[in-house]
Structure 1
Amino acid sequence: MDPILLVGFPAVGDFVRCHSAIRILAERFPERPIDVVTSPGNVSFARFMPHVRKAWPLKKRHMELGLAERRSLVRELRQQNYGSAYLMTSTIKAALIPFMAGIPERIGYPQELQFGLVNRFPAGWLRHLWAFGPRKTRLYEEVCSIATLDARPANVDWPAPQLVIPAAELDEWRSRAGVEAGKPALAIFTGDMTSSRSWPMERFISVAKDHSNRGWAVWIVGGPREHDAANRIRAELPQAVDFTTTPLLDVMYQLGASALFLGVDGGMSHAAAALNVPCVQIFGSNLSYIHGPVNDHVRFLEPPISTPSWIEDTSGVSEERVREALAAAFAEPRRQQGA
């Protein structure tokens, strides 16, 4: 049967959330291969997504039209004979790709009035179109609505994103990185320390020291934005490992090999949750439901309910609550993927 093309998001967390739609499509059309278009960095994540056959990288940044590169990608896509394209991102730039590739069925929300470029819409698309301002529904719900055309069966939950790393690859990474398989590791994702999404640095350091004193390895994960935080943690805890300069593919192994994950709102938090790692995640007031992972093993901590809902600052989350949540998450048996 004709393969399916899913046009995903460039950001890590948003792209990971697209796997819910991929799981739905794989169940609806088990005989049709599924390929994705996303940013080059996300190709590293796509290879760990069940049901994804191939990931096509698109290098242009969000604000760049990049017609020359899109034409180059379109020439390759035309050779694949895709029958349907599912547009997770509701932009004209995204819709141009399947339109130029001649894919007959192009499904998505016409949020930028890309009628013609998109020719099939989920139920309730007009109401969605008129919902100006901040997003009214979770991104998770939007991508699942596109994949199902909003045909949600009664009493059936949409699936959560899922990433799976082959055990042999994880063992090979441990050997290459010199990681002790029997020593538990706490992976810390601080986010950008200048952002309101992050958590006070002195509290991250205190939690890291506590776990190190109890025989844990401490890994700081992320990318360039987290490198300054890694330096500050290592200044107080030299034995902590700074993984913020490693390739994105290795970040997947770091997350998959960790025994616990402590993080804030960001792409690494979605990846850790999808990898089934026990997670404690810190968010601003009333934001975890909208922006957080939907995997049900994640423990969210937010400022007290008395804090106004528009407060993004996380300083209201105490160190004591984080320690208790980490202990509870580690004590809970790790669930099987897909359960």
Structure 2
Amino acid sequence: MDPILVFCLPAIGDFVRCHSAVQVIAERFPGHPIDVITSPLAAPLARLMPSVRKAWVLEKRHLQAGLGNRMQLARQLREQNYRACYLLSSSTKAALVPWMAGIPERIGYPRELQFGIVNRLPAGWLKSLVAFGPRKTRLFEQVCAIAMLGERPADGTQLPPPRMVISPEELSAWRVRHGIDAARPALALYTSDFANFRSWPAERFVSVARDHARRGWSVWIVGGPREREAATQIRAALPEAVDFTSTPDITDAMCQIAASNVFLGVDGGICHAAAALGGPCVLIFGSNRSYETGPVNDQVRYVEPPISTPSWIEHTRDVSEDNVLEALAAAVTQAHRPQGA
């Protein structure tokens, strides 16, 4: 069967949310291979996503890659005989790639007036084009709308949340490589940069980490270069914490999260990946941000500041340690509760 191409967004969190659309397409066209295009940073996650056959990499971020990069990728795509390309990115630069590749159907909302380059428009495209003011539709709903050609889901139908799967064999091999005792519970911390308004005060992360360490838990700090300074601060106060922020491969970071017993994080791309892995997650968000930008997976618990007037608080300073510890305990208990109990 002819393959289908999905042009995804480049940032980690956005790319993970695009998997909802991939699942919709896989259900609509069973048996058709589905490939994706994304950034070098996000592409390794594609192999963990059910229904994705292959990831194509646009060498730079979609909005920065030059015409030469796009033409080179288009030549490679032309050889694959794709029947359609779903453009989950609304930029003209993204739309040029399947157009140059000669893919017959190029589906998306023409928000940059790419008429002709985008040649199949979902229902309601005009309303989307002229919409003013803040959008109330969450990103995962937007990409699913493209996958469904603008059709509304039937009443009671839930859009599929993003999903990633790491095999037990891969997880076991990761534990062996790093000398991890599977019997010892582990708390994975994703702090972002402490200077980021989305983060949580350093001393509160340290307090939560100490609480778990006293009870025999391992504490793992996960992330990348942005989190290394925060990891240094946490380890200065709690030397037994393990700093995984120098991990060279993002799929290794996914093993760290999947091997932990509970993930505590803040608003950022890694929290979407953690949620998609299906384990217990507690996320600290500013008020009202969780609905618009947070993961939609059922097992995620949000801890947010009280809503005030105006009812939009970006910072997280009013989230207490007690509320976070309570949410972590509840998340772990829920994860160990038999299904249906």
Partner in structure 2 of residue 137 of structure 1: 137
| Residue 255 of structure 1: aligned partner | 257
Equivalence map 1:151-230=2 (5 Å): 151=151, 152-230=153-231
Which amino acid is 1:50 matched to? Answer: P
User: 153-162 vs 167-176, which deviates more?
Assistant: 153-162
1:75 to partner: Cα distance: 1.0
Give 1:176-325 correspondences, 5 Å limit: 176-247=177-248, 248-306=250-308, 308-325=310-327
Matched residues in 2 for 1:309 and 1:125: separation? 31
**How many Å apart are 1:41 and its aligned residue?**
1.7
> Which aligned segments of 4 or more residues in structure 1 are displaced greater than 4 angstroms?
334-337
Q: Distance in 2 between matches of 1:146 and 1:251?
A: 30
CA contact (8 A) 1:201 1:229 kept: yes
Segment drifting more, 94-103 vs 308-317: 308-317
Aligned length: 337
8 Å CA contact 1:272–1:279 kept in 2: the answer is yes
Q: Give the CA RMSD over aligned residues.
A: 1.5
Structure 2: distance between partners of 1:65 and 1:169: 33
Alpha carbons of structure 1 residues 245 and 135: separation in structure 2 relative to 1, 3 Å? farther
Matched, 1:31 2:17: no
Q: 2:3 maps to which residue?
A: 3
Deviations 1:14-58 (A, max 9, x none): 000011011111111111100000011212110100010000111
**Residues 138-195 of structure 1, C-alpha deviations (whole Å, 9 max, x = no match):** 1011011011113212321110000000110110011111111111110000012111
Cα distance, 1:222 vs structure 2:
0.7
For structure 2, list consecutive stretches of 5 or more residues without a partner in the other structure: none
Percent sequence identity over aligned pairs: 63
Secondary structure at the residue paired with 1:40?
coil
The within-5 A match list for 1:43-192 is 43-151=43-151, 152-192=153-193
Greater mean alpha carbon deviation, residues 122-131 or residues 188-197: 122-131
Q: CA deviation at 1:307?
A: 5.3
What's the TM-score, normalizing by structure 1?
A: 0.96
How far, CA to CA, are the matches of 1:56 and 1:335 in structure 2? 40
Structure 1 gaps, min length 5: none
SS in 2 for 1:299: strand
Residues in 1 aligned to 2:49 and 2:337: alpha-carbon distance in whole angstroms: 18
Q: Deviations over 1:243-273 (max 9, x none)?
A: 1110212101111111000000011100110
Q: Which AA in structure 2 matches 1:241?
A: V
TM-score, normalisation: structure 2? 0.96
Provide, for residues 79-136 of structure 1, a one-character-per-residue CA deviation record: whole Å limited to 9, x for no partner: 1000010111110111011111101111111111111111112221111111245433
Partners of 2:287 and 2:124 in 1: CA distance: 29
* CA distance in 2 between partners of 1:158 and 1:275 (Å): 17
Q: CA deviation at 1:305?
A: 1.9
Q: Report the Cα distance in structure 2 between the residues aligned to 1:214 and 1:244, rounded to whole angstroms.
A: 24
CA distance in 2, matches of 1:334, 1:164: 19
